Amino acid sequence: CKKNLCLASVLVVEADIKAYTQVGQLFVYELQRETFQSDFEPFLKHYGHVYDDPMVFKCNKQHFPDLPRWLRYTQRHPLDNGFLYGTPLEEDQGKAVIEITVINKRSYDTFRERLVITVGTPGKKLPYQAEFYLPLREIEKVLPSAVREEIKQDIQRMWGAARIDVDVVNISSALDKGGRVPLPLPGHYEGVYVKMGSQQYYSDCLLRLLSPQHQQECEAVGRASGDCSVCVNPSNCMAWCNATLIDLSKPVPPVPAPTHGSGILESGGFYDPPESPPSRDYFLDYIGMVIIPFVLALILCILLAYVMCCRREGVVKRDAKTPDIQLYHHHTIQGNTDELRSMAGGRGVPRPLSTLPMFNGRTGERMPPLQRQLRSDSSHIPLIMAQHDPNTDTLPR
């Protein structure tokens, strides 16, 4: 290959983070904010100024939207480190290229890293396995190697394996196994399952888990008397009743293959159809569900029609002799009109003095009769009489 190209590819490869693990072994990679911080501000360190930025990570297999099936990612808070963890199986052997997008939550800078995980051939077989439930832990608190070592030493003591190592096979949050999200209160934890494996057979202590007495007590009381669990750190104490032994040393019997028939139904015989159920009388149901509601609806309908048509307010017939209320109204209006008309006809009568416009209330004086006479022709009365001197006898022409 050309020189430049080789150099470029070497540089690219060098930029990747590399990791190695084996089939059946727990893989943990901690995404440390501290190291990514210097990638965001590579020169700030020289001035002695280092931020502690909140960061989140997005991880996916290269060219794929999600992580490989065996790998999981967790981060509790942007101010905590993230973890990639999981146990690869036989079919996961080979290289897995993980893209890690780092997002700085202070500056919103992002950059991408590549993590190349090489999954090697299966390591030593761990036929004797056991799973323990740590109720006082959260997955992020167990994944750091120091805590894993603590737990491993506790279990090694229970296993009685001084010479042969006990290895962590799998760690998973109880939430992944159908556990419930705890209350957000101190003293409430999600719980973590830790699966350990060893080449050495179980100790007497662990074999107590198999005794029928243990199961009875756990079912009845939720606590077993044969509890021989060890925990140096109280947070790592396990729930003895939830511990299980998984013995993989015995070969798993293969599932019996289903027996195939000839594919042809046997001829002959007589097909006896199943008897139909006895017929049922639905008459009562019919009356109850159709006829009675129908009759009730009909009665209500008639009642409503009667109320609406014959008993409407204002149409009530009081008596045969008295007219309708509407007619009565009509008559009163007519009568009132007649009355007004006759009153209008009697306008010639002299009006009361006080209603006359030129009557002087103090002196009792009034206008000359001629003026008054003229004024009785109301259509010629000027609207504003004050313009004319009331004391002159001259008339406005």
Ligand X SMILES: *[C@@H]1O[C@H](CO)[C@@H](O)[C@H](O)[C@H]1NC(C)=O
List interacting residues with ligand X (CB under 6 A): 87, 89, 133, 170, 172, 174, 176-177, 179, 191, 218, 222, 239, 241-242
CB 146 within 8 A of CB 2: no
Question: Would you state the torsion angle of the CA atoms of residues 151, 153, 154, 158, taken in this order, to the nearest 10 degrees?
Answer: 130
Q: Which amino acid is at 257?
A: A
Residue whose structure tokens are 């107590």: 208
- Greatest Cα pair distance, the chain, in angstroms, is 149
Own/partner contacts of 174-178, CB < 8 Å, gap of 24 or more, are 174/133, 176/72
Q: Which is nearer to ligand X, 113 or 131 (CB)?
A: 131
Q: Which is nearer to ligand X, 189 or 359 (CB)?
A: 189
Smallest distance, ligand X to C-beta of residue 71, A? 11
Q: Which is nearer to ligand X, 248 or 292 (CB)?
A: 248
Q: Which is nearer to ligand X, 244 or 371 (CB)?
A: 244
Give a three-class secondary structure readout of 278-310. CCCCCHHHHHHHHHHHHHHHHHHHHHHHHHHHH
Tell which residue, 123, 146, 126, 131, has the closest CA to residue 28: 146
Q: Which is nearer to ligand X, 91 or 324 (CB)?
A: 91
- Pairwise CA distance, residues 177 & 195, whole Å: 13
Q: Which is nearer to ligand X, 36 or 83 (CB)?
A: 83
Smallest distance, ligand X to C-beta of residue 184, A? 19
Q: Which is nearer to ligand X, 102 or 194 (CB)?
A: 194
Tokens in use for 76? 């509790």
Question: Would you state the torsion angle of the CA atoms of residues 328, 333, 337, 338, taken in this order, to the nearest 10 degrees?
Answer: 0
Cα torsion angle, 175, 180, 185, 186, sign:
negative
Q: Which is nearer to ligand X, 40 or 240 (CB)?
A: 240
Q: Which is nearer to ligand X, 75 or 170 (CB)?
A: 170
CB 30 within 8 A of CB 144: yes
Q: Which residues contact 72 (CB under 8 A, 6 or more apart)?
A: 84, 85, 86, 172, 176
- Pairwise CA distance, residues 139 & 319, whole Å: 94
Smallest distance, ligand X to C-beta of residue 17, A? 23
CB 147 within 8 A of CB 210: no
CB 25 within 8 A of CB 120: no
